[in-house]
Amino acid sequence: MSLDVPREDASDLAALGVVAFTTTREAGTFGMAGRDPVADVMGRWWSLVESLGAYAPRLATSRQVHGNRVLVHRLTWEGWLRADAADGHVEAVEAGLDCLDAPPKPGPGCGDLVQTCKTEPSCIVAYTCATTYCLTQPTLSEFVSCGIVCATDAGIASLTDPAAQTTYAVFRCAVASCKAFCPFAQSSDGG
């Protein structure tokens, strides 16, 4: 990645396939509460947004709070999203898929169950459909409705079908292990 902004790369995240960085003081302040004129600060932000445009259609920012709040975003927007206080941002689908594919130990992850699912044709069809269309559903009831359509389309006709049992095991793991990346599991009617 070649960005025209002074930065420090978060190389520890590269192994996970994540490109992350923080701007350095050399880049100038990006803070609105500083002494720099707002036009200069906003110019830096727009320059960064434009530099990133070649690599990513979305940029999410927030006021840093030095805590552990990470906002999970659905893939329904493009451009620059500004949110309130948080320390990080992830996209629900990509982060959710990474979590699902990760091994359960050291965790979090459901990779062992996903691998089992991939050996059952009906299960992998239902899993692919659910991760494509259902993972970003905002509530558990909407996720379940979407998942039922996926299971039916995959030919799963009964809860006694082995593929249904494997698919349900992946769902339970997603709610337990990957909750932070699954909006439906965080809703008031979810996990």
Which of 75, 91, 107 is where one domain is finished? 91
Q: Is the pLDDT of residue 125 over 50?
A: yes
Quote the distance between the C-alpha of residue 19 and its chain's center.
Answer: 14
Residue 190 gets which letter from DSSP? -
More confident residue, 187 or 169: 169
Residue 115 lies in a domain: yes
Kindly state whether residues 64 and 75 are assigned to the same domain.
yes
Domain count, the chain: 2
Which of 43, 65, 91 is where one domain is finished? 91
What's the pTM value of the predicted model, to 2 decimals?
Answer: 0.52
Residue 119 lies in domain: 94-186
Confidence of residue 55 (pLDDT cuts 50, 70, 90): confident
Q: What does the block give as tokens for 135?
A: 């993972």
Buried b (16+ CB within 10 A) or exposed e, 58-76: bbbebeeeeeeeeebbeee
User: DSSP letters along 84-116, please?
Assistant: SS-SEEEEHHHHHHHHHHS-TTTSS--HHHHHH
Contact yes or no for 112/103 (Cβ under 8 A):
yes
User: Rounded to whole angstroms, how far apart are CA atoms 108 and 183?
Assistant: 16
pLDDT in tens, 73-112: 766 678 888 888 888 777 766 767 888 888 988 878 899 9
pLDDT at 155: 94
pLDDT at 190: 45
pLDDT at 191: 45
Kindly state whether residues 68 and 138 are assigned to the same domain.
no
pLDDT at 36: 92
User: Rounded to whole angstroms, how far apart are CA atoms 127 and 149?
Assistant: 11
